[in-house]
Chain A
């Protein structure tokens, strides 16, 4: 059975300038696998991820024919039910650790806050769990990191702290929104292998949102390619290089390659019909 089913998801914003449709009829099924959502900025990939958690503020509106997570109807769930899902069952890692961690709270306090408040653990128990979580994301000196403020950590460390924080309640579904785009290639590879390991060992479902096609092809099982709020192509990650849709092909072709020619890179000619 699939973990998450989304049918005909629409996200609209009523603005002074008229209705803006950020997501226009996105449907997908997710099992315990790695699903990649790729697209350029403004394609609606982040909005799709946030809709699953119903984290879209007014004037934004979420509509869907169906949005079910593990038998729970996310469209009809009350705000209390949603709060119970966010974190323990469905977690989200945001793009930038600089803006997503509390700058005036020590990392340790942020990691244990949920455990103390929600699970009513004692201080030492919560501390031990947080240390375990930091170890799980391969932070070498967890005791020091617990006492540090976010600005004292590098980007890669901050990103790992956020992943650790999301993994403490052992969620069934992790939504990762550009979790590695602020990181260097070498650190990126580490963070991805941590995520990969967690999907394998914990049987977690993963939605991996990124603008980097090649990264998604290497890391995910299945890929949705979004353009202007719609899924233009869905394919197995290993077949990405044989993509059929001209948008996907265009995105792949305009990337420079090591050892490639110096000729001007092909530009992406957008066809008005793709957005229909």
Chain B
């Protein structure tokens, strides 16, 4: 198993009150697998991704990658990278794409070459002459491509995707999902993806975990989802609410 999460709990303390965002969730992701997390907002699905990256306080349980407990050092960021939901908020507004894409290389002491930046842009389907543009000169879909390019600069094995297409229009969503699928096939990436859209998760993932109120409700294979073989009421109601996203449409 590439990613092993065991009994993970995340607790935030706000004004003396404890909020248990994630409670005892376990999941395993194999190398080169694509694993999906679904649930309503506040179900803790994004918090799991943030806990892996060290952006949320882990209060119990363990996260292991390749059998080793995670440490948040440079070696970790070369292995695991994250793409955030809102491409309008996740890129520095005053940095050109060139600077945004060079920064990971510079931090890790890797050579920053013209070729590397140009390749990063063309790999995500952006023209090389975008290199000195600012984020505000790009559309939402183009910005999300830059965010994906930045995450791939250090050639990680694992991409954590937090609602990567929910801020995008349908046609742009399709392009971005195709890009992610292509990159996964080409580079043998492992995806851990969060979405509230069951159709997107179904299109991208091999296995999914349904979450509610910080707890794992049910794990489903792709086949079980497509044939509606869920056993818990909550997973069923989520599925029913997404009925218009079925194949027959």
Contacts and interface: CB of A to CB of B under 8 A. Distances in A.
Given A185-B238, A262-B203, A254 B173 contact: yes
Nearest to B171: A268
B170 interface: yes
Interface stretch (B93-101, B107-115, B116-124, B193-201): B193-201
Interface stretch (B129-137, B144-152, B240-248): B240-248
A258 B247 CA distance: 6
Interface stretch (B50-58, B63-71, B154-162, B175-183): B175-183
Contacts of B202: 256-260
A22 B11 CA distance: 47
A185 B241 contact: yes
B226 interface: yes
B169 A255 contact: no
Contact of B246 (A189, A254, A259, A266): A259
Interface stretch (A4-12, A136-144, A214-222): A214-222
B140 to A, nearest CB: 8
Given A154-B42, A214-B249, A265-B177, A258 B171 contact: no
Contacts of A154: 41-42
Which of the listed residues B174, B182, B202 has the most CB atoms from chain A within 10 Å of its own CB? B174
Interface in A141-168: 154-155
Nearest to B199: A256
A241 interface: yes
Contact of A257 (B42, B171, B178, B246): B246
B179 to A, nearest CB: 9
B217 interface: no
B90 interface: no
A204 B198 CA distance: 32
A186 interface: yes
A264 B226 contact: no
Contacts of A260: 199, 202-203, 247
A184 B173 CA distance: 18
Contacts of B204: 256
A3 interface: no
Interface residues of B, number: 34
Contact of A265 (B42, B178, B246): B178
A252 B174 CA distance: 11
B225 interface: yes
Interface string A200-237: 00000000000111110110000000000000000000
A264 B245 contact: no
Interface in A247-276: 250-252, 254-260, 262, 264-268
Given A251-B171, A262-B203, A267-B171, A256 B177 contact: yes
Given A185-B242, A258-B225, A264 B181 contact: yes
Interface string A170-184: 000000000000001
Given A187-B40, A241-B249, A40 B244 contact: no
A186 B175 contact: no
A271 to B, nearest CB: 13
Nearest to A39: B169
A27 interface: no
A41 interface: yes
11 contacts: A154-B41, A184-B196, A185-B238, A185-B242, A211-B169, A213-B170, A214-B245, A254-B171, A255-B173, A256-B245, A259-B246
Interface of B: 40-42, 140, 169-171, 173-175, 177-178, 181-182, 196-200, 202-204, 225-227, 237-238, 241-242, 244-247, 249
Given A211-B169, A258-B247, 9 more contacts: A186-B238, A214-B245, A251-B170, A256-B203, A258-B202, A259-B247, A265-B177, A265-B203, A268-B171
